[in-house]
Amino acid sequence: MSTALRSILDLLIILVLTTVSAVVVATDVSITAIRILFGLPLVLFLPGYALVSAFFPEAPEAETSNRWHNAATYRQSIDTVERALLAVLFSIGVVPLVAFAINFTPYDIARIPVLVGVVWWVYTFTAVGIARRLLVPADRRFYVDFGRPVALIVGSFDQQPYSLRSSRAFEPRNGTELLLNVLVVVGVLALAVSVAFAAVSAPSEDSFTEFYLLTENDDDELVAEGFQTTFDGGEPVPVIAAIGNHEGETMEYTGVIMLQDPSNGDDQSGDELDRFRTTVSSDSTETVERDVTPSMAGDDLQLTVLLYTDDPPEEPTVENAYRSVHLRITVEG
């Protein structure tokens, strides 16, 4: 194995594990043990390891008899065990911070957006870590000796650094140790901020109304896919609208069904085909079924249903509606 490949092998494994774990989490594998097996590293280890690798591309200085007892020759990086510990520490803070950042985007704090954010974090810092290691001279690059994992762990605990055994707590003996202390403090603060944010952020209680179209499948079940989109001229077009009331009180809704022709450059105006009114109790969903007859023919018409919580204006449009849905249809003839 070449020196370059050996020095970045652990980071390549991180990329593979991240990809596999993301696929498992995204596809929602039904076997709980598999979800836990791949989900935990993605939350508790991989993001932090990528970050640590980006900060510390070099290996500790070669072990000598004076390495642990002479501050002048004290190592300029961190060893495998310390990387692992920092990886866990930083990962615990990174994932909540990613979720916190998503809170300021148009996306909800849900599984897929957070997963995408975490994967982006790992890919980005792993790429930085690979680049930084390859820029370091070959004899100074950090690498994981996969042939001696137990010896590495045992040796790291047996041969504790001089600063850990005889110096005062948190007293940095060189620039690298100072940076390490700073990173640990930042990690702890990030963790504290994340925990505090999770503690004080209650689930959103904003009121809202769900509004979507449904159609019947071959089993006469209402589904949100497989819509019929081609109709003969004069043939009734079925419209099934579902209204879910999460406003915290009983609501009275008015719907306006319109047929529009976007090809004329105006997707707001159109022909009104029908109106309906329905009352929906709080935290319940009602469906409204109507048959409408198209007022025009065309290959790319837009059947639009507008929803209002009060009386519609004289000219109902998508702009002034409370909710709106549409379906592209073709009316022949």
- Beta strands of 167-227 (E only): which ranges? 208-216, 222-223
Burial class (CB in 10 A: 0-12, 13-18, 19+), 164: exposed
At 48-92, the pLDDT tens digits run 999 999 988 888 764 433 433 444 444 456 777 788 888 888 888
**Model pTM?**
0.47
- Whole-angstrom distance, CA of residue 137 vs CA of residue 324: 61
Query: Under a CB-based contact definition with an 8 Å cutoff, are residues 57 and 133 in contact?
Result: yes
Q: Is 35 helix (H, G, I), strand (E, B) or coil?
A: helix
Six token digits for residue 141: 């690059």
- Whole-angstrom distance, CA of residue 317 vs CA of residue 260: 11
Give Cα separations from 76 to 103, 167, 249, 324 (angstroms). Answer: 38, 17, 64, 61
pLDDT value of residue 233: 81
Six token digits for residue 149: 């994992």
Six token digits for residue 290: 């109507």
pLDDT value of residue 172: 54
* Residue 58 per-residue DSSP state: B
CA angle 41, 42, 48 (to 5 degrees): 85
pLDDT value of residue 16: 94
Phi then psi dihedrals of residue 14, to 5 deg: -60, -40
Domains of the chain, earliest start first:
3-200 (no CATH), 208-332 (2.60.40.10)
Q: Is 105 helix (H, G, I), strand (E, B) or coil?
A: coil
- Beta strands of 183-270 (E only): which ranges? 208-216, 222-223, 230-232, 237-246, 251-260
pLDDT value of residue 265: 65
Short-list 172, 164, 189, 12, CA closest to 90: 189
Phi then psi dihedrals of residue 218, to 5 deg: -65, -20
pLDDT value of residue 323: 94
pLDDT value of residue 256: 96
pLDDT value of residue 90: 87
Neighbours of 131 (CB within 10 A): 12
At 183-235, the pLDDT tens digits run 666 655 555 555 545 444 444 446 789 999 999 998 889 999 899 999 988 88
pLDDT value of residue 4: 80
Residue 310 CB contacts under 8 Å (≥ 6 apart), including other chains: 254
Regions in the chain scoring below 50 on pLDDT: 62-75, 152-153, 156-157, 159-170, 196, 198-205
